[in-house]
Chain A
Amino acid sequence: MNIWLIMLLGGLMTFGMRFSLIYLFGSFQVPETMRRALHYVPPAVLSAIVFPELFFRNGVPDLSLDNTRLMAGLAAVFAAWLSKNTLFTIVAGGVVLFLLQYFR
């Protein structure tokens, strides 16, 4: 699919969700289960994207210490847990990746 079509559909959908209940005010209630489920969207979706990025190398699983992206990713998890800061986490993970690749 063309990137412009993806952007257009994605944008329309996003607008639709933001506009929906302001527009329909009073005629629709959000079910409690959905309200609860939405809290788990960020950890679930983002982990589903991140895990293969860290654990796979060239399409095959790699759990060894040579897997620099996995090691740098674990360092970033630790940095995020310590600092709760986006920028610090990215820099820390990037520096660890650079050092591991440089000294290998």
Chain B
Amino acid sequence: MSVQTGQFWAGVRAELPILIGVFPFGMIYGALALNAGLEQFAAQMMSAIVFAGSAQFVIVQLVHEAAPGFVIILTIAVVNLRHVLYSASLAPYLGHLPLRWKALLGYLLTDEAYAPTILKYERTGVQPSGHWFLLGAGLALWSTWQASTALGIFLGAAIPDSWSLDFALPLTFIAMVVPVLKGRPYVAAALSAGAVALAAYSLPFKLGLILAALTGIGLGTSLEGRNAQREEM
């Protein structure tokens, strides 16, 4: 086995435990996208074109609420901004590659591919064929995401409307939020964003959502800054 293939399969193996959690998530996405009124083909293609779990859930929810396009785009930007950080943190290991490699790995750079890859890179440092590891992890996740979406769409078509499946989306968001509330600034961010979303609910174009998100992010960030200052004194 060449060094490249070895790195590739090491990436696939490192990704395997994560895939167990990703698979049901992709199925839920597929079923909910259908339930929100997306056509089967569009729901499937979103997994290939956008290829970002939480952003896809948010898009489906906002399409369901008939939010205007520019608000949906703005929300995707806020939700996906963290990828700039991943891009920055992997850049020292991938900076030497030709453009087509950078583009391919950029497309595959999700939370789930980033996590095992950065751990490995920090352990081994820059290696000439290290990018094959990210390719393996990224492709393993990509194919799992496409397959689980397809299965979700297939099964979702059989679920009757009386099951209130649309409520599974807010439930999914609750399941995503609660574990990240790791301290007072996080709780403050969540509660203030929620409160502003309620108060600004009647604003046109769902702008209350953007306003609420920015309030929560701002409050959380400034509270953390204050705590950090107090600790330094």
Binding site for B on A (CB under 8 A): 1-11, 13-15, 17-26, 28-30, 33, 35-56, 61, 69, 72-73, 76-77, 80-81, 84-87, 89-90, 93-94, 97-98, 101
Contact = CB atoms under 8 A, between A and B. Distances in A.
Contacts of B69: 1-2, 5-6
B209 A48 contact: yes
B37 to A, nearest CB: 9
Residue among B54, B167, B195, B224 with the most chain A CB within 10 A? Answer: B167
Residue among B46, B61, B77, B177 with the most chain A CB within 10 A? Answer: B177
Nearest to B28: A90
Contacts of B50: 7, 10-11, 14
Contacts of A80: 174-175, 177-179
Q: List 8 A-B pairs, minimum CB-CB distance, nearest first.
A: A1-B69, A44-B216, A19-B106, A40-B220, A25-B95, A51-B194, A80-B178, A48-B212
Interface in B200-220: 201, 208-209, 212-220
A47 B194 contact: yes
A75 B54 CA distance: 22
Interface in B49-83: 49-52, 54-55, 58-59, 61, 63, 68-70, 72-73, 75-83
A33 to B, nearest CB: 7
A86 to B, nearest CB: 4
A56 B65 CA distance: 13
Contact of A52 (B52, B72, B198): B198
A84 to B, nearest CB: 5
Given A10-B49, A28-B88, A43-B193, 15 more contacts: A7-B45, A11-B49, A11-B51, A13-B80, A14-B52, A14-B76, A19-B106, A20-B106, A37-B221, A44-B193, A46-B174, A47-B194, A49-B197, A50-B177, A73-B171
A4 B44 CA distance: 12
Contacts of A89: 171-172, 174-175, 178
B190 interface: yes
Q: Is the interface of A mostly helix, strand, loop or mixed?
A: helix
B16 interface: no
A40 B173 contact: no
Contacts of A101: 164
